[in-house]
Amino acid sequence: MLTIIGIAALLCVLIYNYILNPAFFSPLSKLPTAHPLCSITAKWFDRQLSLRKELTTLLVAHQNNGPVVRLGPQEVSVVSLEGLRAIYTAGLEKHPWYSTYFANYGTPNMVSTLEHRPHSVQKRMIANVYAKSYIQRSSEVETLSRVIVLEKLLPLLHKCANDKSHLNVMPLFQWAGIDFMTAYIFGTGHYTNFLQNKHSREDYFKDRSKILDLDKSGEDNAMERVCMRLATETLASQAQPHQDHVDGTRPVVFGQLYSQLVQKNKAEGEPLSQEDLMKRCASEMLDHIIATHETFAITLTYIIYRMSLDLRMQERLRAELSTLQPSVTLGGAEKTLPPPADIDFLPLLSGILTETLRLHAAAPARQPRVVPEGGIMLHGYYIPAGTKISSNPYSLHRQADVFPRPNDWLPERWMAVPDRPKDSSSFPPSAVIRKWFWAFGSGGRMCIGSNFATHVLKLLIASIYTNFETSIVDDEGIEQSEYFIATPVGNKLIIQLHPIE
Ligand code: HEM
């Protein structure tokens, strides 16, 4: 008899905890749900994830229910400016999801660090070398851009155009992205040079599981080995008197982080061994490299796809690029590139990049945080402490009242009124839509590489469209995947380059 009462009591507790409380009594029970099952189980949304339908599910849930939607018993999604302020500007701490997936060498870095203090200590060590003003004035950026664009990329593209051979866009821009990033991190004396070095890029990419399947991250892999080798070689060359950056540009990011970590370690009585110091440094550097190759390749693939469908847009961009002095061509005797600030200023080029990052944000999915003690109020709802809460660029960038014709690629929506299409008089001013642009996140955990990315991506687009017209040969799989990164399914955009006479 006692056993029956015990089982009945246990059942009552379970029913209360797992069904009645989350569905009827929790403060979150007042929120609309993406699906009725979301009140009592996280499994419904997990299923959408496993079907790789995360992004469209979120968009439809917000279109049907408004800016705040419950995704599970303890998870909420928010799509509004008020939400961005309350979650990201207010600096809610990251969800443990980040520490599970983003550490390299079993060692934390900025992305994987959840708590504010250790994160901001590490961020302060390197933030200045990623500032826009630093990048635009850096002689290292100027030199490495010249080396990669004029000595590697453009000769390769010209050869491809002259041979009339086809070009698979996505891998090419992975290599270019890694070359730019490693040259900035380690200097041109120790960078990857994947645009030219087929053998070493094959070695690096032989295990892409770390990028494409987050469940496999954390395992030792080729990317970790390559990054540690570059870091070790860079350090060794710096240790030789009079040798630093003789063979190339300074190792800007590595040099900065390593010297700051050594200083901190000394000040704290040397708790880290030399091996641990190198792992701390390489973990951060590898994260920047991985952040670069996927995002650059995805963004440039979509830009070339969109531009190749619109010859008129190519002509308009070429006219704008022709105002640059010197132009981004191989022809000039002095072999220089236009000043970064001049490239940055071009309105149509900026519109093309921003509109592509809106429609095909390279990191389009949820960026989860945890609600702190005391909870928060959002759109009149109380969200209790411990709730997993996020926003996502995919849904933010498709709000039809902010971005009319949200599924159309319209670079002009970011430009001043006279440059806009004739039928766009009802478009909100670009100052308003900029507040909704969230491809790089916002607040203290916003992308540290956004200025570097903007500079290099604009330079690469300028390099291509000053010199070539592009047309599509095969776009199998270009449809955006509904996954945490926007990689085109199948990674395939094959184009033909036609030289501009
Ligand atoms: C088109 C290019 C890029 C896009 C769209 C992009 C997007 C993002 C986004 C959305 C976040 C915020 C993630 C979150 O809070 O969950 C982020 C963070 C970050 N990104 Fe990027 N990124 C790009 C390029 C880069 C580059 C070139 C670097 C190299 C330095 C980089 C390094 C980082 C790092 C280290 C963080 C973490 C910052 C922190 O936690 O403080 N990203 N990125």
Average pLDDT (461-470) is 96
pLDDT of residue 184: 98
From the CA of 88, give the closest atom in ligand 1.
Answer: 15
Q: Using the atom order of ligand 1, give the atom closest to the CA of residue 130.
A: 30
CA quadruple 331, 335, 340, 342: dihedral positive or negative?
negative
Q: How confident is the model at residue 479 (pLDDT cuts 50, 70, 90)?
A: low
pLDDT value at residue 15: 80
pLDDT at 378: 97
The protein residue with its alpha carbon nearest to ligand 1, atom 33, reads: 447
Atom of ligand 1 lying closest to residue 98 CA: 16
pLDDT at residue 222 is higher than 60:
yes
Tokens coding 260: 């700051």
d(CA 175, CA 156) in angstroms, rounded, equals 12
Residues of the chain with pLDDT > 70: what percent? Answer: 90
Q: What is the mean pLDDT of residues 194-206?
A: 87
pLDDT at 489: 46
Residues β-bridged to residue 381:
378
How much is the mean pLDDT over the chain? 89
Give kind and range of the element (H or E) at residue 71.
strand 68-72
- Segment 115-129 shows an average pLDDT of 95
Nearest CA to ligand 1 atom 18: 447
In this structure, which residue's CA is closest to atom 22 in ligand 1? 447
Intra-chain end-to-end CA distance of the chain, in Å: 93
- Structure-block tokens of residue 29: 């029970």
Q: Report CA(410)–ligand 1 centroid distance (Å).
A: 24
The candidate with the shortest Cα–Cα distance to 489, out of 498, 476, 473, is 476
Which residue type is seen at 494? Answer: I
Of 19-23, 178-182, 405-409, 470-474, the one with minimum mean pLDDT is 19-23
Query: What's the CA gap between 435 and 399, in Å, rounded?
Result: 12
Q: Is 160 annotated as a binding residue?
A: no
pLDDT at 148 over 90: yes
Q: In 3-state terms, what secondary structure has residue 134? A: helix
pLDDT reading at 485 higher than 70: no
Lowest-confidence region among 38-52, 193-207, 294-308: 193-207
CA nearest ligand 1 atom 39, residue: 445
Spell out which residues line ligand 1, taking CB within 6 angstroms. Answer: 110-111, 123, 287-288, 291-292, 295, 299, 362-363, 367, 439-441, 445, 447-449, 452-453
| Residue identifier of the C-alpha nearest atom 26 of ligand 1 | 449
Q: Find the angle CA(451)-CA(453)-CA(454) to the nearest 5 degrees.
A: 65
Least confident of 25-39, 216-230, 267-281, 430-444: 216-230
Is residue 207 pLDDT above 80, yes or no? no
Mean of the pLDDT values across residues 32-60? Answer: 94
The amino acid that residue 116 corresponds to is H
382: pLDDT strictly greater than 70: yes
* More confident site: 23 or 41: 41
Q: Is 296 helix (H, G, I), strand (E, B) or coil?
A: helix
Q: Whose CA is nearest to atom 41 of ligand 1?
A: 445
Mean pLDDT of 59-83: 98
Among 87, 120, 129, 447, residue to substitute to test ligand 1 (most atoms within 8 Å of Cβ): 447
pLDDT for 293-304, tens place per residue?
889 988 999 999
CA 461 to centroid of ligand 1, rounded, Å: 20
Candidates 159, 135, 157; CA nearest to 148 is 157
- 299 with 356: CB under 8 angstroms? yes
Q: What is the mean pLDDT of residues 275-298?
A: 93
Ligand 1 centroid from CA 70, angstroms: 26
Helix, strand, or coil here: 381? strand
pLDDT at 158 over 90: yes
Q: Residue 488 has what DSSP assignment?
A: B
pLDDT at 214: 45
- Which amino acid residue places its CA nearest to atom 43 of ligand 1? 447
Residue with CA nearest ligand 1 atom 37:
111
Atom of ligand 1 nearest to the CA of 452: 27
Dist CA 188 CA 141 (whole Å): 10
Q: What is the largest CA-CA distance in the chain?
A: 97
Distance 323 CA to ligand 1 centre (A): 31
Ligand 1: centre distance to CA 348 (Å): 24
Q: How many Å lie between the centroid of ligand 1 and the Cα of residue 444?
A: 12
Q: Do the beta carbons of residue 110 and residue 283 sit within 8 Å? A: no
Per the structure block, which two tokens stand in for 311?
């010859």
- Summarised one tens digit per residue, pLDDT across range 333-376 is 668 899 999 999 999 999 999 999 999 999 999 999 999 999 99
